[in-house]
Amino acid sequence: MTSEIHNDALVNIPKTNKKQIVIIGGGFGGLQLTRHLSSLDANVILVDKANYHTFQPLLYQVATAGLEPDSIAYPFREIFQKQSNFIFRMAEVKAIDTAQNKIETLIGDITYDYLVLAAGSTSNYFGMKDFEQYCHPMKSIPEAGELRNLILENLEKALLVTDLTERHRLMNIVIIGGGPTGVEMAGALGELKNHILPRDYPELDFKSMRIHLVDMSERLLGAMAVESSRSAEAFLKRFDINLWLKTRIVAYDGETLVLSNGEKLLTKAVIWAAGVKGVAMPGLKEDSLLAGGRFKVNVYNQVAGYENIFAIGDIAAMVTNETPKGHPMLAPVAIQQGKNLAKNIFNIIAKRPLQPFVYKDPGVMATLGRNHAVAELKFVKFQGFLAWLVWLFVHLMTLVGFRNRVIVFFNWAWSYFTYNRSLRLIIKPSQPTKAS
Ligand SMILES: Cc1cc2nc3c(=O)[nH]c(=O)nc-3n(C[C@H](O)[C@H](O)[C@H](O)COP(=O)(O)OP(=O)(O)OC[C@H]3O[C@@H](n4cnc5c(N)ncnc54)[C@H](O)[C@@H]3O)c2cc1C
């Protein structure tokens, strides 16, 4: 551990003899950690490739024109305006130099006394190159925006073609992965197809538009109870979503998706919700990395083989007897690990014993469209309207920023009563972008 005076000249971090805590990623985990270190006499340096925090659970609503991007994002500089030890640098981290205790970014190196990896996860295509090339992920606001553009642009193109096969190919959408993200996306698309798009595109026949949801396992929402899966399946079928369970994806060339049962789905829009892996952070020992690109951590979130490097949230796998595969990649895990690590950083600096992380599972939920969700809380499982109300309330209250809560609430109320989503805009950067 370094105790020398820091001067990260290139990134313009002032010279100081205070400890430097560098946090890579301001997602759910990084945000809580930074916040809970506010009274630490140290430099708390947050490095993120975006200048805002993203509320990922509502990305699918941006992709389906239910919410505008800025209502699920919040700028770090505003969140931490009043935190005097906070320093932010917008930069993509490329590698870690553990010998010299520094991270390498595109804007320069930053030294650390303690480093926290909180960079989350990225889409995992399990080595299937054609799917990586042609599928559309939904892990960030730009990706959700691109998906919205794709869906709407395909409909604009569908108006121009007379060949019916080609028209259907442009209208059809396939979602791969029947976990909460895939299921929520399917519900939202079903709602768009049934209630909204026919009004916008009266020249298109939406009865012939197909929305497919494909999953390898025998039921949707495999991590939830059977009754939640059954409820989700019944609800999506009412929306006319084609469910392909116990079905593998075999090939996709950007036009036709081949399934393991030989079925060929014609589509130019395939959404990837089938798997994620930890964001790559080159430079750490290979044996600290587990399958799925997650860093092996002990009960204090210390990365295996390092005393001053920690990992929290999706990028970390705390393998214990109770959690042989690590904790689920969920927001509450990241939030709770961020809070516990903050306490432990205080403990380390004060030379007190560390507190192990204990996960308090608040339960899981998934929404399927208006009036219907499935919820599994600690002592009770329920589905339907009440679950939907609980889902609305929890998501509203966890959004960062009062303004965002009001805007999201207003948008939801508006689309609930009017069956309308007013954000069906195709917005792209102008080409070519001006040099800055
Ligand atoms: C579409 C979707 C829906 C979801 N729905 C739910 C849900 O309903 N409930 C739930 O509990 N969980 C849900 N999740 C999962 C939840 O969002 C994650 O578990 C949670 O975000 C993990 O938090 P984190 O802090 O580990 O990382 P993240 O929140 O992913 O944050 C990582 C941060 O690191 C930054 N970053 C990444 N790479 C770099 C780099 N190289 N350099 C610098 N910065 C970097 C990113 O910009 C980002 O700000 C959903 C996820 C998705 C994608």
400 lines ligand 1 (CB under 6 A): no
Residue 122 near residue 143, CB atoms below 8 Å: no
Position 231, amino acid: S
DSSP-assigned letter for residue 302: B
Residues 7-45 pLDDT 10s:
677 788 877 889 999 999 999 999 999 999 999 999 999
First-last CA distance in the chain: 39
Instruction: Give the distance (Å) from ligand 1 centre to CA of residue 314.
Output: 7
Question: DSSP strand E in 226-311: where?
Answer: 241-244, 249-252, 256-259, 264-266, 270-272, 276-278, 295-297, 309-311
92 lines ligand 1 (CB under 6 A): yes
- pLDDT for the residue numbered 6: 74
Burial environment of residue 235 by CB neighbours within 10 A (0 to 12, 13 to 18, 19 or more): buried
Residues 381 and 383: their CA atoms lie apart, in Å, by 7
The three-class DSSP label of residue 352 is: coil
139 lines ligand 1 (CB under 6 A): yes
- pLDDT for the residue numbered 353: 97
Please enumerate in sequence order all residues whose Cβ is within 8 A of that of 324, keeping only pairs 6 or more positions apart, or say none. none
Nearest atom, ligand 1, residue 330 CA: 19
Residues 164 and 167: their CA atoms lie apart, in Å, by 5
CA R_g for the chain: 23
Q: Which of 4, 153, 184, 263 is catalytic?
A: 184
How far is residue 197 from each of residues 75, 89, 207, 271, 325, measured CA to CA in Å?
A: 33, 42, 11, 19, 42
Which helix (DSSP H) or strand (DSSP E) does residue 174 occupy? strand 173-176
Residue 184 annotated as catalytic: yes
Residues 106-135 pLDDT 10s:
899 999 999 999 999 999 999 999 999 999
Nearest atom, ligand 1, residue 313 CA: 26
30 lines ligand 1 (CB under 6 A): yes
Nearest atom, ligand 1, residue 280 CA: 41
- pLDDT for the residue numbered 435: 56
Residue 432 near residue 96, CB atoms below 8 Å: no
294 lines ligand 1 (CB under 6 A): no
Helices (H), 176-294: 180-191, 197-200, 226-238
- pLDDT for the residue numbered 70: 85
Instruction: Give the distance (Å) from ligand 1 centre to CA of residue 121.
Output: 6
Please enumerate in sequence order all residues whose Cβ is within 8 A of that of 11, keeping only pairs 6 or more positions apart, or say none. 89, 91, 105, 107, 108, 109, 110
pLDDT along the chain (436 residues), means of 10: 64 86 98 97 97 95 89 93 96 96 94 97 96 96 96 97 96 97 96 92 95 97 94 93 97 98 98 96 95 96 97 98 95 97 97 97 89 90 91 88 80 73 78 60
- pLDDT for the residue numbered 419: 67
401 lines ligand 1 (CB under 6 A): no
Burial environment of residue 380 by CB neighbours within 10 A (0 to 12, 13 to 18, 19 or more): exposed
Matching residue, tokens 């010998």: 99
Residues 197 and 420: their CA atoms lie apart, in Å, by 10
Question: DSSP strand E in 83-152: where?
Answer: 86-90, 93-97, 102-105, 108-111, 114-117, 121-123
